[in-house]
């Protein structure tokens, strides 16, 4: 009969956000029709869409997101606190999108002249995800054997991604996720041998590499070689 003792330790590794969000400016040339400018940014940053219209002519500008109008001149038409008009360019009309997330991936924006229905400048957002990785542990005791059941979870991911388990720095398992639901994946690993540390790493084309590490301090408590495991965290940042 197994005696299951649940004890969870969560270690997450992410980049520490600075006090000022990273700002990415994206400028579209005037009279470039049917060409949508791709704007790249990391999740958590701000994106500045710069429209080729003089700041003094903002009243003549209509901003749209998808099929919805969001600004006419300086009048905001939607309840979105992350949108700011004319806050990131000193001489041209602009739209600032604050704190972008992976939910903004492939959003399209256009600035148009209200006096010229044929004129527009288009933008599309390409967001790089910054995952949060956690490891939880459950210890199962059976006779003189201890099995550590580890669960790795990565939130804020975009497909496709690869999740890798490393024990003492050596690769012990890999999972490839080509389809992802709710921007989250998880993987389970059973540790039966003595290990100093276990890491879970996620990487992919559309995310920054991120990982979590669980440090296990193995100690001999008596002459019968029974073991106690003590956990501590070892945090670092992805690339």
Residue 20, pLDDT score: 61
Residues 142 and 83 in one domain: no
Q: Which of 69, 98, 128 is the last residue of a domain?
A: 128
Name the residue range of residue 90's domain: 23-128
Residue at 14 is within a domain: no
Cβ 42 vs Cβ 130: under 8 Å? yes
Residues 29 and 115 in one domain: yes
- The count of domains in the chain is 2
Handedness of CA 73, 75, 81, 87 (dihedral sign): positive
Angle 12-203-13 (CA atoms, 0-180°, nearest 5)?
Answer: 15
Residue 32, pLDDT score: 59
pLDDT < 50: residue spans in the chain: 1-19, 219-239
List the CATH number of the domain containing 74. 2.60.40.10
List the CATH number of the domain containing 141. 2.60.40.1490
Residues 118 and 134 in one domain: no
The tens digit of pLDDT for each residue in 179-211 reads 998 999 999 999 877 788 999 999 999 999 999
Residue 237, pLDDT score: 43
Residue at 3 is within a domain: no
Residues 124 and 138 in one domain: no
Judging by beta carbons within 10 Å of its beta carbon (0-12, 13-18, 19+), is residue 115 exposed, middle or buried? exposed
């Amino acid at each position: 009969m197994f005696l299951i003792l649940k004890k969870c330790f969560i270690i997450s590794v992410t980049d520490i956000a600075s006090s000022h969000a990273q700002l990415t400016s994206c400028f579209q040339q005037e009279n470039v029709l049917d060409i949508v400018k791709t704007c790249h940014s990391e999740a958590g940053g701000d994106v500045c869409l710069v429209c080729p219209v003089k700041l003094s002519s903002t009243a003549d500008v209509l901003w749209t997101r998808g099929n919805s109008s969001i600004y006419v001149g300086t009048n905001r038409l939607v309840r979105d606190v992350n949108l700011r008009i004319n806050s990131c360019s000193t001489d041209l009309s602009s739209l600032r999108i604050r704190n972008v997330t992976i939910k903004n991936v492939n959003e399209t924006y256009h600035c148009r002249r209200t006096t010229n229905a044929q004129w527009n400048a288009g933008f599309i957002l390409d967001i790089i995800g910054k995952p949060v990785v956690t490891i939880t542990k459950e210890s199962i005791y059976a006779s003189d054997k201890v099995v550590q059941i580890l669960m790795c979870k990565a939130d804020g991911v975009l497909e496709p991604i690869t999740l890798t388990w490393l024990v003492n720095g050596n690769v012990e398992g890999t999972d490839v996720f080509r389809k992802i639901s709710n921007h989250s994946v998880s993987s389970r690993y059973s540790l039966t041998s003595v290990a100093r540390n276990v890491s879970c790493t996620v990487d992919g084309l559309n995310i920054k590499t991120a990982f979590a590490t669980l440090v296990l301090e193995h100690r001999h408590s008596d002459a019968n070689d029974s073991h106690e495991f003590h956990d501590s965290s070892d945090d670092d940042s992805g690339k």
